[in-house]
Copies of this chain bind each other. A is one copy, B any other.
Amino acid sequence: MARDTTQRRAELRDRLIDIAEDEIRANGLASLRARALADKAGCAVGAIYNVFDDLTGLVLAVNGRTFGRMGAEVSDAVRQGPSDPVGTMVVMAKGYLRFALRNPRLWRALFDVQMTADSDVPRWYLEELQRLFALIAAPLRILHPETPADRIDLMTRALFSSVHGMVLLGTEHRISAVPEDRIDEMIEFLIPRVARP
C-alpha cells in the first residue's frame, strides 16, 4: 500500500511537470493555473499541493528540466565546435542564444519565476546554475591560469550576465530587437575582448 502511494505520487508529480512544461512552452509562465493543471492531470486541485509546496515548486521542477536540456545542448555545441578556449566560449554563447530563440517561454520562465526570498531558492536549483557556470569557468581558467578562483567566478558571472543581457534585449521586441545575426555579431565582438588574457 505505502509503495503504491509513493509510486502514484511520483507518477502524478511527473505528469504535472509534463503538463506545466507544455503549458509554459505554449503560453508562458503567467498563464499557469492550478485549476487547469488539475483538470489536465485528472486530479483534484488539492492533489497538486500534495506533491509540490506551491505552483512555484512546480515551475522550479520545469525549470530544472529546462536547465538540463540547455546544458546538454550547449555541451553538444561545444563538442562540435573549435577547441580553443575563446572559440569554445563563443560557441557556448551562441548555443545559449539558439536555445533562448527556440524555447522563448521556457527560457523566460527560468528568470521570471517568482521567489520572495533567497531562502526560497532550493539547493538543487542553485546546483544546476553552478553546473552551467562551471561550463563557462573551464575555458576561462585555461586562459587565466594564474587568476584566483574568486576572480574567475566574478569573470564567469560578468560574462554570463553580459551574454544574457545581449540575448534578452536583442530578442526583446518592446525595446530594440535586432536581427538574430546581429546578436551573433555582438557575441563575436564581446566574448574575445572580455575573455582573453
Interface set of A (CB-CB < 8 Å, partner B): 111, 113-115, 117-118, 120-121, 126, 129, 154-155, 157-158, 160-166, 168-170, 172-178, 182, 185-186, 189-190, 193-194
Contacts and interface: CB of A to CB of B under 8 A. Distances in A.
A154 B115 CA distance: 34
B175 A166 contact: no
* Closest CB pairs A-B (n = 3): A165-B165, A162-B162, A161-B165
Copies of this chain, whole number: 2
A158 B186 contact: yes
A155 to B, nearest CB: 7
A164 B162 CA distance: 8
Given A162-B190, A189-B158, A177 B129 contact: no
A114 B158 CA distance: 28
A168 B115 CA distance: 15
Contacts of A190: 158, 162, 194
Contact of A189 (B118, B129, B154): B154
A165 B111 CA distance: 12
Contact of A117 (B118, B163, B164, B173): B173
Nearest to A115: B174
